[in-house]
Amino acid sequence: MNEILKEQFFVDDLADDQKHVITSINDYIKKGLTGKQASVAIIQGAAGTGKSVVLMELVRQYMTDKHYQTAMVVNHPELYKAYQDLAESIPNMNPNAIRRPTALINYAQKNNKQYDIIFVDEAHLLYSKSEPYAHYRGNNQLTDLMNLAKVVVVVYDFDQVFQSKMYWDKDLLFKTIGEHPYKQFDMNFQYRMVASDEQVAWMDDLSEEKPIRPFPDNSDFKFQVFDTAGELFENIKKRNKEVGMSRVVATSGFPRIDGRHNVEMDSFSLPWDEWDPQRTHWAKREGSITQVGTIYTLQGFDLNYVGMIIGPSFGYDAKTDTMTIIPEKYSHKEVFKKRKDMTFTRDEYKKFIANVLNVLMKRGKYGLYLTAYDDALRQRLVELYKNGK
């Protein structure tokens, strides 16, 4: 098994609260397997709280036991590759039982296949509307999965919702579950980052347009603000040579220059991440140090250090001393795709964009290096960093 993936998804010594959640879900699954209608176990928590670790312990337990008809789905292409890698290394586990949700739904409906348990990681990426371009012609993938299994175990983080076609909130989740039995299993403790609660709160406040404060200096988590993206990149390269798994990431909105759609700022110019049809996921590829990561390659993955370039769709309001979100400058149009069944306000689109920034900032276990495209925002962040040291 790849050691990087093993470290992220399997923990030899689970924390007490993780053990408690697993025991509780096991009890719920056993009860659900004897029920008359599909039941739903909801694992919910913020980024880095160990949701995937808990899920993989359950997956390893049930998907290696021939007494159960099981499947696992994940709609994130990079995570799908990772789970395929893991499955090949786990005795008695069938990698073919791990699929993208559309593929599983279409296969099961065509072949009248039913399951005891279906596990869903990053369930907030399930389609909540028809998406014919992606070969999904149903109305809601969670509904379809509930029709295929006795128990559906789903991992949700509503703060990782970024697009209208994958829109979820608690109201929609419970409306979709309807009369089916369900139980929520909450995870609140931060496992990914060595950052303190106050440092995590600083990241949340920044993306929620609250007044900017100096970054708290009360843990071993490394934080630094740079006046240029070029200097940030040089430091990320140093960290990558020292400890590996250190990458530059950015949010959308960078203008095209001479036909190039790169991330370009001061002396920094690198292309966006590239999709790889091979099994190796972006974060693990050596060549990705010369590309800029996005939510599409990094959601669900750990890095050691993140170099975060806050893109042009974020500005600064000196009157309120807050970072502002400007949807009109966000160039990734999938975020704004129209739906027939619901409409979104400007504030809701701002929330999608804020979620992207928040999740990317929290990819690094040991440190966050930060800069911003907007001059006023960058200058304010640099000023607070220097004064707070």
Phi, psi of 248 (to 5 degrees): -90, 135
Residues of the chain with CATH 3.40.50.300: 3-187
Q: Looking at residues 161-182, what average pLDDT do you find?
A: 90
pLDDT above 90: residue 304 = yes
Environment class of 116 (CB within 10 Å of its CB; exposed 0-12, middle 13-18, buried 19+): middle
- pLDDT class of 8 with cuts at 50, 70, 90: low
Digit-coded pLDDT (tens) for 130-159: 888 889 999 999 999 999 999 999 999 888
- pLDDT class of 190 with cuts at 50, 70, 90: low
Distance CA 92, CA 106 (A): 25
Count Cα neighbours of 335 within 13 Å in the Cβ-side half-sphere: 27
Q: How far is CA 252 from the centre of its chain?
A: 16
Neighbours of 150 (CB within 10 A): 21
What kind and span of H or E run contains 247? strand 246-250
Count Cα neighbours of 162 within 13 Å in the Cβ-side half-sphere: 22
Do 354 and 207 meet the contact criterion of CB atoms below 8 Å apart? yes
Q: Is 3-187 assigned to CATH 3.30.1280.10?
A: no
Length of the chain: 389
Predicted confidence at residue 278, as pLDDT, reads: 63
Predicted confidence at residue 1, as pLDDT, reads: 42
Predicted confidence at residue 277, as pLDDT, reads: 65
Do 156 and 123 meet the contact criterion of CB atoms below 8 Å apart? yes
Q: Looking at residues 355-373, what average pLDDT do you find?
A: 95
pLDDT above 50: residue 104 = yes
Digit-coded pLDDT (tens) for 156-171: 988 888 887 778 989 9
Digit-coded pLDDT (tens) for 242-260: 999 999 999 999 988 887 8
Torsion over CA of 163, 169, 171 and 174, rounded to 10 degrees?
A: 100
pLDDT above 80: residue 9 = no
Environment class of 363 (CB within 10 Å of its CB; exposed 0-12, middle 13-18, buried 19+): buried
Beta-bridge partner residues of 364: 303
Q: Looking at residues 350-370, what average pLDDT do you find?
A: 95
For helices 16-32 and 51-62, the axis angle rounded to 10 degrees is: 50
- pLDDT class of 389 with cuts at 50, 70, 90: low
- pLDDT class of 189 with cuts at 50, 70, 90: confident
Environment class of 259 (CB within 10 Å of its CB; exposed 0-12, middle 13-18, buried 19+): exposed
Please give the DSSP secondary-structure letter assigned to residue 211: B
Average pLDDT over the chain reads 90
pLDDT above 80: residue 354 = yes
And the tokens for 20?
A: 């408690």
Q: Looking at residues 83-89, what average pLDDT do you find?
A: 83
pLDDT above 80: residue 204 = yes
Q: If we measure between CA atoms, which residue out of 310, 304, 301, 303 comes closest to residue 329?
A: 310
Q: Looking at residues 72-84, what average pLDDT do you find?
A: 87
Distance CA 165, CA 160 (A): 13
- pLDDT class of 318 with cuts at 50, 70, 90: very high
Predicted confidence at residue 16, as pLDDT, reads: 83
Q: Looking at residues 253-271, what average pLDDT do you find?
A: 91
Q: Please report, rounded to a whole number, the percentage of residues in the chain having pLDDT higher than 70.
A: 95
Predicted confidence at residue 119, as pLDDT, reads: 98
